[in-house]
Structure 1
């Protein structure tokens, strides 16, 4: 059985990502930067996916180029180690969650982008 988040539009969660960043003095541009880094989408691609209500499954399936450094994203999200998630799609979604958390915590962008 597929998890409900797989069919959830990215646009339904995106405002929460931005709000989380903004609560700690960060902004939408930083959220978009980590999305671009992770997925290879350009800004127009992100905007189009949001406007078209693209679900997470399609968003990641159509990602131009998942970053080869994405497996360097480690740590806990909702009490689960992202590096130990078996389902590839769920892991990608949790990688994105982790990156947004790091933006919200004020981590330096060079560290967030595993640079």
Structure 2
């Protein structure tokens, strides 16, 4: 898994606008992106905004997440050529779960199905 070693230090605030852009290109909304992120991490909208404002890296973002959703293990599929369910490092797996959820949102999947 090339570049996975960099994930902990990448600033969430730099990736978040890319998630929103990807979703908006496919006629989805920032609110839907936020819903998906909050579902996965347990953040409130205000808590998510605080993480963005303080420019947390992914390591901090996931370490401070109130609660990773218990159904996150139901997220399956390939992101960046790797099956997310086979990733052993919890931080990298959570980051890839988030990537997968944003991909599903951008592909038009219903929120009810994304938030298993």
Give the alignment's TM-score, normalised by structure 1: 0.96
> How does 1:1-115 map onto structure 2 within 5 Å?
3-114=5-116
* Residues in 2 aligned to 1:81 and 1:91: alpha-carbon distance in whole angstroms: 10
Query: Alpha-carbon deviation of 1:9?
Result: 1.0
Q: Alignment RMSD, CA only?
A: 0.9
Stretches of 4+ aligned residues off by more than 6 angstroms = none
* Residues in 2 aligned to 1:23 and 1:6: alpha-carbon distance in whole angstroms: 27
* Residues in 1 aligned to 2:59 and 2:43: alpha-carbon distance in whole angstroms: 15
Query: Alpha-carbon deviation of 1:5?
Result: 1.9
Residue by residue over 1:23-45, the C-alpha shift from the partner in whole angstroms, topping out at 9 and shown as x without a partner, is 00001001000000000000001
In structure 2, the gaps of 5 or more residues are none
Query: Alpha-carbon deviation of 1:20?
Result: 0.2
